Amino acid sequence: MKYLTSATLMILGLLSGCEKPPQQSAQTNTPNAATPFKQGDDIPAVAYLNHNEIYNAESVIPPQCYTKTDGINNPCYACHQTDKNNKNRPNQMFDGHLQGSYEFSDLGTKNHWKNLFIDRTELVKDISNEQILTWINQDNYSPFIEKLKQNSDWQGEITPIENLAYPEQAFDELGFAKDGSGWVAFNYKPFPSTFWPTNGSTGDVMIRLPRAFREHQGTYNRDVYLANLSLVEIALKGLDGVSVPNIDEQLIGVDLNKDGKLSHISYLPKQSHYLGDANDTLEYQLYPQGTEFLHTVRYIGVDPLGNIYNAPRMKEVRYMKKHKFKSKAALASSYYREAKEKAFENLPQTLYLGDKGVNNTFGWLINGYIEDAQGQLRVQHEQELAFCNGCHKTIGSTYDQTFSFARKVTGEKGWGYIDLKSMQDVPNVGEKQGEFLTYMSRVGGGDEFRQNQEMLSRWFKSDGSVDKNKVSKVKNLYELITPSAERALALNKAYLTIVREQSYIFGRDATLVEASNVLQQIDESQSPLEDTHQYVWDMQLDWSKL
């Protein structure tokens, strides 16, 4: 591995911009070293990308993992879980011991996410409110899709949804895309706390099942599709049944509730197999092969009255497809392989598939697109894309390597575009206190880094403890986790400076000031989390409290 200097890069002419890198074909990138992170290092991110020089071989360790716990503040539990009481659970990671332990490789002990340590106050002062509002209200998704369609060399997926930049135009009341593409938006509780609007981004998630799950005898059948979507929810959450919008059993041709007649039903019991032209069996906490997810990460919209919404402009478009079904036994083997590689202190491996993205080796293809310096969506560089494996490969809290669908409002009320005003802070399964209240209590702040001053002033007492009485009285999630218009505009401006720099490999978090509760170097002096501050937790929610 060569270590680059600014002079070398200038000579090579590598500072001109971020072009799409040479794509690898189904090969594993296992770097042996990385260019060292130095304070004051002036090598821009695009230089590493254009030269295909590995900056951070441990990019699967997200920035949040470097948060100071001080022995008592625990944001780690949301990802790292050990629930060995559920013997049937396909997720065999059992990584609860990693809560606050900082068990990294030698390379990983150095925090490479140096964007966390930049004060962006001066960088954003010349961006006016009018400029940022114009920026965030532009549609950069539709032009990107058209560009992919016209690229005859493109081998990856193309995921058009008409008017996706404007959700009220794109989806009907149940979340079905109006263009007939098969994508369905669902109402889910954002994962704590990276995906809270107050911490930098808005977003949504759509699911799509294979054509056979949408059709009956070769013809599209909405009742079949809705029933199959509900059966996926039953399988993933391990339920006996769910409420559903009106489903006509006659259109499906199956007596689903076993009452001896074909009628309209509002409750769907668990079935052994999927319906229509699909014949796959339901598998506990696993999606059927061919399931797709589309996740847009957006700027924070601010209307003239100061209300917060999902802006048209997208920071990222993230895509996952379950290209291969793996049984619980096969997944257990994959988890064992990962544990073995870590035990031998091997650096993370990422299997790149060119335009198709990366294979996480657990049955999923993952791809992602991000803004270029002009704000147009582009293919992510391999180094940028490797970041995705940090969350969608081997952490203990996920359901079949995913987050959002397990957090969908259960049953009928969960079909439709995400709506924070329709949800309260319900508890997690097995708990009594609201999830976000619990999170803030355990973390000691309104974000993993404990630096969101607006959340601290709104929901915490002067002694640093969360105001449980105040949080418990909020009307809905919108009131609890959306920022003021002033903060939203500032966060949008801060992220725009990262876009202009194209410095995503240094960190994507839209932070306003230098992080003070984040470690730049892990060493043995860090206090481990006390046992009383480590938790067993399930990301599923108890929606019966809604």
Amino acid 349: pLDDT: 82
Confidence (pLDDT) at 87: 79
pLDDT, tens digit, 9 for 90 and up, residues 56-100: 999 999 999 999 999 999 999 999 998 777 879 999 999 999 999
Q: What is the mean pLDDT of the chain?
A: 91
Contact 200, 509 (CB under 8 A): yes
- C-alpha 171/C-alpha 223 separation (Å) is 17
Write down the pLDDT at residue 85: 76
pTM: 0.92
**pLDDT digits over 93-103, tens only?**
999 999 999 99
Residue 340 has pLDDT above 70, yes or no: yes
**DSSP, res 366:** E
Confidence band, pLDDT 50/70/90 cuts, at residue 360:
very high
Mean pLDDT score, 515-539: 92
Task: Give the β-pairing of 364-371 and 241-248.
Answer: unpaired
- Please report where in the chains the tokens 């911490």 appear, as a residue: 199
C-beta neighbour count of 525 within 10 angstroms:
5
Where do the domains of the chain lie?
6-131+319-545, 211-269
Pairing of the two strands 350-352 and 308-322: unpaired
Q: Which residues, in sequence order, are CB contacts of 508 under 8 Å at separation 6+? A: 115, 315, 495, 498
Question: Radius of gyration over alpha carbons of the chain, in Å?
Answer: 23
pLDDT at residue 476 above 50?
yes
Distances (CA, A) of 147 to 135, 295, 372, 380, 493: 20, 19, 14, 15, 27
pLDDT at 36: 41
Is residue 541's pLDDT more than 80? yes
164 vs 32, residue with greater confidence: 164
Query: What integer is the mean pLDDT of 470-494?
Result: 98
**pLDDT digits 0-9 by tens, 286-333:** 999 999 999 999 999 999 999 999 999 999 999 999 999 999 999 999
Average pLDDT, integer, range 132-142? 98
Tens digits of residue pLDDT in 218-244:
999 999 999 999 999 999 999 999 999
pLDDT band at 439 (very low <50, low <70, confident <90, very high): very high
Number of Cβ within a 10 Å radius of residue 138: 15
The b-or-e profile of 168-193 (16+ CB within 10 A means b, else e) is eebbeebbbbeeebbbbbbbbbbbbb
* 3-class secondary-structure state, position 196: coil
How far apart are the C-alpha atoms of 382 and 275, rounded to whole Å?
38
- Secondary structure of 298-322 as H, E, C letters: EEEEECCCCCEEEEEEEEEEEEEEE
Q: Rounded to an integer, what distance in angstroms lies between the CA atom of residue 279 and that of residue 249? A: 17
